[in-house]
Structure 1
Amino acid sequence: MAIAQLTIVPLGTESTSVSKYVANCHRVLEKDKRVKYKLTPMSTVIEGELDVIFEIVRKMHEVPFENGAKRVITSISIDDRRDKRASMDQKINSVKEKL
């Protein structure tokens, strides 16, 4: 299972606020039950099969355009560990155990 960190930045909008674009992007995640996700103050973290993550990111990337953005910058970081099963919770628990 892969874990991806995703940031979508709409440009060419009427306001410097992006929360409405973030909310609209998250509607894509709410509808798709194949992944687990967490919204953070600076990005969204998605956990699931890599092909599914790419499919969802593509849909999310289109949302700002559909809502009037003239340009969209999408940044993705992927942690695809294949030697053992990883999850968002497991990664956090591993750090907490060491604190």
Structure 2
Amino acid sequence: MSVINVSLQVLPRVPDEKIYDVVDKVISYIDSCGVKYEVGPMETTMEGEIDELLEIVKKAQEICIKEGATRVLSIVKIDYKPEGVTMDEKIGKYRK
């Protein structure tokens, strides 16, 4: 299967002072999965196989709830093409 990109933004329903702590737990989980990823100010973009990335998205919801969220709104973007797509091909020229 080809490499794709999935961007994930989690918006856990927690008190304002806990939002970054919960999001940090999700990012830490993504890091532990060994997929290529980049954290942005509004979302985290991952690169890998679709099944693996969608499993990470699923687990992210569970992490938010475990960390005290009563509800989680997630925005997921998938960039898929049969031959694959990488973050480098899309934004490599903008990196310094």
TM-score, structure 1 length as denominator? 0.84
Distance in 2 separating the partners of 1:5 and 1:63:
17
SS at match of 2:16: coil
- Residue correspondence of structure 1 range 13-24 to structure 2 within 5 A: 13-15=14-16, 18-24=19-25
Larger radius of gyration: 1
Aligned match of 1:92: 91
CA contact (8 A) 2:79 2:85 kept: no
Q: 1:15 to 1:85 in 2, by over 3 A?
A: closer
For the aligned residues, what is the CA RMSD? 1.6
CA distance in 1 between partners of 2:29 and 2:18 (Å): 20
Aligned letter for 2:64? P
CA contact (8 A) 2:4 2:78 kept: yes
Question: What SS class does the counterpart of residue 78 from structure 1 fall into?
Answer: strand
Question: Which segments of 5 or more consecutive residues in structure 1 lack a partner in the other structure?
Answer: none
Give the TM-score of the pair, scaled to structure 2: 0.87
Deviation of 1:16 after TM superposition, in Å, equals 5.4
Partner of 1:43: 43
How far did residue 15 of structure 1 move? 2.2
Q: How many residues align?
A: 92
Q: Runs in 1 of length 4+ with deviation above 4 angstroms?
A: none
CA distance in 2, matches of 1:31, 1:68: 21
Report the secondary structure of 2:24's partner residue: helix
Corresponding position: 1:80 with 2:80? yes
